[in-house]
């Protein structure tokens, strides 16, 4: 039977190598001609690849799907992925197979290194389209420069902003009366209360964000972070950060020998009473979790003096998407004041808007004013300054260093 294997293998190889015929590239819709986009979008099915780990967000996407169906005749299918990086892999695979149209992904929820990877490889729908969307003028590019520069990478209109993120900490006031409001105080707290603080294990996104927060507040010259890593001075640049972590780790949960794998697991540790302090990238997350019965109502938010890391998240359309017009319609709908206000409601999701509230009509302003931000949430004026995301190369190098130093025992 083994001898039959050789022809079989040859056949399969031949099939994989020869059959691939480059198909013609689909017509790219032009958002400047919006009626034509709406026309083309009607009846299309948009496969929206988005992280599916948070039921509240999934429910919001369901709502958006029902709306675009009713308003524009576009069917939205939420493909729940556990990591946006899998979607990048998917698009790369299609490129490798010569599938330059009719791709599986029509719209993807993305930012940071995933966006940088797709942009660099030329795998996004171009030319830039986001700034030609009808709702683009509502976006607040002055207060939120992050909607134009994603981890220092110019978006060039290749992705459309959806929401904002800012690192906020949370503590259980039943156990902690006055939370530590600086990195030094945090280390001090950990030393006095061993096992009551931890962070998700890098390269998990939130874990890496904590590293960047420490780096931004310990590096001698923070200006360096807006440029790519300089290999010559990298070791010296991160030395204060490593000194901080070296001192912190012995006092972490499980003595730093194990780490929660994501921010949801971190929040669960807080709920279980294993730790006293956790953090999130969503200022309303704690309130929303309290409302959903996932955290005790004694949890409160706080931020660090000197500011915390903030960024924006986006939706992007792959170069080979099947329903490009439909994807444009969905991206534009996600910027509707009604959709953005609903998204900011902690009872729904609690994700901050990217719109400039001052520019909105009174009726839409009222939608935002009516929101109850929740018991644990800090008012916007108390959220503190935003520390911009460092250039994506810092994150890559930090993750390597972390894996080497703390991730392999």
Partner 1 sequence: MLKLAPLATLALMLGPVIAGLAGTVLPAFGYMPALGGDSLSLAPFHDLLSRPGLATSLALSLGTGLAASFGAFTIAILFTAAFEGGRFFRAMRALLSPLLAVPHAAAAFGLAFLIAPSGWAMRLLSPWATGATRPPDLLIIGDPYGLSMTLGLMAKEVPFLLLMVLAALPQTDSLRARHVATGLGYARISGWLGAVLPRLYPQIRLPVFAVIAYATSVVDVAIILGPTTPAPLAVRLVGWMRDPDLAMRFTASAGALVQLGLSAFAIGLWVAGERLVAVIGRARLRSGRRQAGDRVSATSSALAMGGLTAALLAGLVAIALWSFAERWRFPDALPGTLTLASWQAHLGHLGAASAVTLAIAVPVTLTALVLALACLEGETRKGIALRHRTLPLLYVPLIVPQIAFLFGFQILLLTLGIADTLLAVGLAHLVFVLPYVFLALSDPWRAIDPRYGHVASALGASPNRIFWRVRLPLALRAAATAAALGLAVSVAQYLPTLLIGGGRHATITTEAVALSAGGNRRLIALYAMTQMILPFLAFTLAALAPAVAFRQRQALRASA
Tell me whether strands 45-51 and 75-81 are parallel, antiparallel or unpaired: parallel
User: Nearest 5°: phi and psi at 2?
Assistant: -65, -35
Minimum distance from residue 311 beta carbon to partner 1 (Å)? 16
Residue 13 binds to partner 1 (criterion: CB under 8 A): yes
Question: Which residue among 26, 28, 73, 83 contacts partner 1 (CB under 8 A)?
Answer: 83
CB crowding 292-313: b at 16 or more within 10 Å, else e: eebbeeebbbbbbeebbbbbbb
Question: Which residue among 75, 99, 149, 347 contacts partner 1 (CB under 8 A)?
Answer: 99
Question: Which residue among 43, 98, 250, 380 contacts partner 1 (CB under 8 A)?
Answer: 98
Nearest CA to 76 out of 323, 337, 350 is that of 323
User: Nearest 5°: phi and psi at 234?
Assistant: -55, -50
Nearest CA to 159 out of 150, 167, 151 is that of 150
Minimum distance from residue 1 beta carbon to partner 1 (Å)? 5
- Please report, as residue ranges, which positions from 210 to 269 form the binding site for partner 1 (by CB under 8 A): 253-255, 257-259, 261-262, 264-265, 267-269
Minimum distance from residue 360 beta carbon to partner 1 (Å)? 32
Residue (137 or 228) nearer to partner 1, CB: 228
Residue 274 binds to partner 1 (criterion: CB under 8 A): yes
Residue 119 binds to partner 1 (criterion: CB under 8 A): no
Residue (138 or 300) nearer to partner 1, CB: 300
Residue 191 binds to partner 1 (criterion: CB under 8 A): no
Binding mask 343-362 for partner 1 (x = CB under 8 A): --------------------
Minimum distance from residue 112 beta carbon to partner 1 (Å)? 9
Minimum distance from residue 407 beta carbon to partner 1 (Å)? 5
Residue (55 or 358) nearer to partner 1, CB: 55
Minimum distance from residue 55 beta carbon to partner 1 (Å)? 6
Residue 308 binds to partner 1 (criterion: CB under 8 A): no
Minimum distance from residue 77 beta carbon to partner 1 (Å)? 7
């Amino acid at each position: 039977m083994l001898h039959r294997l050789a022809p079989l293998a040859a056949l399969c190889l031949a099939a994989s190598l020869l059959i691939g015929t480059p198909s013609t590239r689909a017509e790219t819709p032009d958002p400047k001609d919006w009626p034509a986009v709406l026309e083309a979008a009607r009846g299309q099915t948009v496969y929206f690849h988005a992280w599916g780990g948070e039921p509240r967000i999934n429910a919001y996407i369901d709502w958006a799907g029902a709306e675009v169906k009713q308003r524009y005749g576009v069917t939205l299918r939420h493909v729940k992925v556990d990591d946006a990086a899998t979607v990048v892999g998917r698009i790369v695979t299609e490129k490798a197979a010569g599938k330059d149209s009719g791709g599986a992904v029509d719209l993807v929820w993305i930012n940071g290194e995933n966006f940088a990877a797709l942009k660099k490889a030329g795998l996004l729908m171009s030319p830039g389209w986001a700034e030609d969307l009808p709702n683009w003028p509502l976006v607040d590019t002055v207060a939120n420069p992050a909607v134009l520069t994603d981890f220092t990478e110019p978006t060039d209109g290749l992705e459309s902003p959806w929401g904002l993120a800012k690192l906020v900490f949370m503590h259980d006031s039943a156990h902690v009366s006055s939370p530590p409001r600086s990195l030094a105080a945090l280390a001090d707290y950990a030393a006095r209360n061993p096992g009551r603080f931890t962070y998700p294990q890098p390269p998990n996104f939130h874990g890496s964000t904590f590293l960047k927060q420490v780096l931004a507040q310990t590096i001698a010259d923070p200006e360096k972070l807006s440029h790519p890593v300089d290999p010559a001075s990298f070791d010296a640049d991160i030395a204060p950060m490593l000194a901080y972590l070296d001192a912190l780790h012995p006092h972490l949960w499980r003595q730093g020998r194990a780490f929660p794998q994501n921010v949801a697991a971190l929040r669960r540790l807080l709920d279980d009473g294993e730790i006293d302090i956790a953090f999130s990238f969503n200022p309303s997350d704690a309130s929303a979790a309290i409302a959903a019965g996932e955290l005790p109502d004694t949890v409160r938010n706080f931020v660090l003096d000197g500011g915390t890391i903030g960024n924006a998240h986006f939706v992007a359309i792959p170069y080979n998407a099947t329903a490009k017009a439909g994807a444009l319609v969905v991206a534009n709908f996600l910027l509707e004041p009604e959709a953005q206000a609903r998204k900011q409601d902690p009872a729904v999701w609690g994700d901050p808007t990217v719109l400039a509230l001052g520019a909105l009509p009174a009726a839409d302003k009222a939608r935002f004013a009516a929101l109850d931000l929740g018991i644990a949430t800090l008012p916007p004026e108390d959220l503190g300054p935003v520390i911009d995301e460092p250039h994506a190369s810092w994150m890559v190098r930090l993750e390597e260093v972390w894996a080497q130093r703390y991730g392999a025992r």
